[in-house]
Amino acid sequence: MMQQPSKSAATIHVVQEATQLVFHCAQCQLPVTQPVRALPEDFRLNTARGEDSIAQGYYTLGDWEQDPAVKDHFILNLSDLVNTQLHRDPKRLNGCCGLDGLDGINTVCSNGHEIGTECSDCWMAHYVHLDPSLVTMDAVS
């Protein structure tokens, strides 16, 4: 029996790999991603500088020991974001060639609610990590 994802922002459920999910802003329920699937367990994240960390169309749950900021956050390709924009606070938008994500949440939904952090600077692999307390998810067919 397939376990369905919870709509609760505080609860993370593992879902069957074939299930597609759409992430939503927890405050206004605006969709903030295209449909994405769980990254198969035998795939690894790319850590090469300047390259996508995860393939478009997939997400994974962060557990990186080298970056505790992403632990238990949903990691996605930047191209999977929809209805999002950068934070209005310029102090959160630091980086040299992109955003380094070191100054807190820098990505908001189109209505201005915080949802996650873009990491896209030249010295790192590129991805966004969505805070599970700020997003919800729904399975789509």
Nearest to 104 by CA among 114, 112, 113: 114
The DSSP bridge partners found for residue 81 are: 33
Per-residue pLDDT of the chain (141 residues; tens, 9 = 90+): 333 333 444 334 444 446 899 999 999 999 999 999 999 989 989 999 999 999 999 999 998 666 788 999 999 999 999 999 999 999 999 999 999 999 999 999 999 999 999 999 999 999 999 999 999 999 997
Q: Please provide the DSSP assignment of 33-73 as one string.
A: B--EEEPPTT------TTSBSS-TTEEEE---TT-GGGTTS
- Tell me the whole-structure pTM to 2 decimals: 0.85
Domains of the chain listed by start with CATH number: 20-140 (2.170.150)
Strands 20-25 and 36-38: antiparallel
Q: Which residues contact 11 (CB under 8 A, 6 or more apart)?
A: none
